[in-house]
Amino acid sequence: MSVSRRGFLGGAGAVAGVVAGSATARAGGGAERFVGYPDAMGLLHDTTLCVGCRTCELACAKVNGKPKPAGPLHDVSIFNKLRRVTDKLYTVVNRYVKARGKKPPVYRKHQCMHCQEPCCASVCFVKAFTKTPEGPVLYDPSVCVGCRYCVNVCPYYALGYEYDNAINPTVQRCTMCYSRIKKGEQPGCAEACPMGAIVFGKRKDLIKLARQRIAKFPDRYVDEIFGEHEYGGTSWLTLAGVSFDKLGLPVNASHKPLPELTAGFLSVVPLVITIYPGLLLGFYAWTRRKERLTEEARVAAVAQARAADGEVAATKAAEQKKLAESRQKRAVDLAVKKALADAEKAAAAKEDTP
């Protein structure tokens, strides 16, 4: 049975209408203004104190059971290009401004910002993300369907995904060390920072601390706290001595939460965003399988060729051995014949002697 392009699009449109209706209700419900939990925790990153030591990366890896950061921590060549978080790197430190004269380089730690009103939570139709009263945004992989909608809409590009996991891929991201916070401990990065560039505490207290630093050192800081209001605010706050756009952060960002800004848009795209990544993942898995089978075939061919070479070599060795044995036997026979002939000649000569 053939299906025309118009028929396919018509059917897809009908399904999209049903899904869109459901998504509109969810998005609309999640877009109510939320000022945040009063005692929520947060972290303040003072980029003027950060020296790019990447100790926070190592601490994060240890806390979350992830591989150690690539290369030695003191290897500055890693700053030659900007890095993004991945399913194995929950946080990365990048150098955004190179040193100039007496002005040191400027670094910023990048990770999930744990928004006050997380867009990832508002677009997730299975509710895999939740904002906790303690501050962190948590993710439940047991209900995730792998649509990666959250990865696509995050304004900070702070979510990683297990693309190489073909069985049960999940979203991977900073948890703000929620388990440690529940036990009254600091997040691993804040505890490990040797320069005090990362401060952990109640979000409202961190905002006061940041304002005090700006007031005390107006020549050092930009008169703004990134994360206080941007897109409704974040649990990660940033102080800087340069414009935030130079640190890879959005400037002039709306103070309205992203769920509120995107509610109308999200109602018309869930089908595409949900299905398309799945198709891409399917093509990716098929390509990887094809590559694996090709590699297996190559290895088998090499092994077969080596086995054939081995058989040829064994045959040649057997032939050489047989030839050598034949030559040796012939030489022995000739030697025996010669000895017998010599003996007969000696006996005849002896008889002829008077």
Residue 128 is given by DSSP the state -
Query: What pLDDT sits at residue 9?
Result: 39
Q: Is the pLDDT confidence value at 346 over 90?
A: no
Please tell me which residue, 346 or 158, carries the higher pLDDT value.
158
| Of residues 181 and 340, more confidently modeled | 181
Contact yes or no for 267/23 (Cβ under 8 A): yes
Q: How far is CA 9 from the centre of its chain?
A: 35
What is the chain's alpha carbon radius of gyration, rounded to the nearest angstrom? Answer: 36
Does residue 114 come out as left (phi exceeding 0), alpha (psi in the -120 to 50 range) or beta?
Answer: left
CA–CA separation, 71 vs 89, rounded Å?
13
d(CA 308, CA 306): 5
- pLDDT at site 229: 94
282 vs 134: which has the higher pLDDT: 134
As given in the structure block, the two tokens for residue 318 are 């057997």
Is pLDDT at 21 greater than 60 in this prediction?
A: no
Contacts of 281 (CB under 8 A, 6+ apart): 146, 163, 169
pLDDT at 98 over 80: yes
List, for residues 265-285, the tens digit of each pLDDT value.
555 555 555 555 566 666 566
Taking only the tens place, the pLDDT of each residue in 186-211 is: 999 999 999 999 999 999 999 999 99
More confident residue, 38 or 201: 201
pLDDT of residue 93 exceeding 80: yes
Residue 16 has a pLDDT of 42
Length of the chain in terms of residues written: 354
Q: Would you state the pLDDT for residue 71?
A: 83
Structure tokens at 54: 């990447």
- Residue 161, pLDDT above cutoff 90: yes
Quote the pLDDT of residue 178: 97
Q: Which helix (H) or strand (E) holds 43?
A: strand 41-46
Please tell me the predicted confidence (pLDDT) of residue 5: 37
What confidence tier does 221 reach under pLDDT thresholds 50, 70, 90? Answer: very high
Residue 45: pLDDT above 60? Answer: yes
Look up residue 238 and give its DSSP letter.
E
Percentage of the chain lying above the pLDDT 70 cut: 73
Kindly indicate the confidence band of residue 111, based on its pLDDT and cuts at 50, 70 and 90: very high
CA separation for the pair 304, 328 (Å, rounded): 36
pTM of the model: 0.67
What average pLDDT does range 78-106 have in this prediction? 95
Query: End-to-end distance of the chain based on CA atoms, in angstroms?
Result: 119
Q: CA 172 to CA 154: how far, in whole Å?
A: 13
**Cα 56 vs. chain centroid, distance in angstroms?**
17
Handedness of CA 179, 90, 234, 99 (dihedral sign): positive
Provide the H-helix boundaries in 117-248: 119-123, 149-153, 178-182, 188-192, 203-216
Which residues pair with residue 236 across a beta bridge? 43
Question: What angle (nearest 5°) sits at the alpha carbon of residue 220, between those of residues 214 and 222?
Answer: 60
Give 273-310 as a 3 state SS string: HHHHHHHHHHHHHHHHHHHHHHHHHHHHHHHHHHHHHH
Domains annotated for the chain, with CATH where assigned, are 12-268 (3.30.70.20)
Average pLDDT over residues 32-57: 90
For residue range 170-190, list pLDDT tens digits in order: 999 999 999 999 999 999 999
CA distance 192 to 77: 22
Three-state SS at 207 = helix
Q: Give the mean pLDDT of 43-49.
A: 98
Question: Which one-letter amino acid corresponds to residue 338?
Answer: K
Round to whole Å and give the CA distance between 110 and 92.
5
112 and 176 in contact (C-beta within 8 Å)? yes
Nearest one of 88, 161, 89 to 120, comparing CA atoms: 161
Residue closest to 145 by CA, chosen among 157, 165, 160, 127:
127
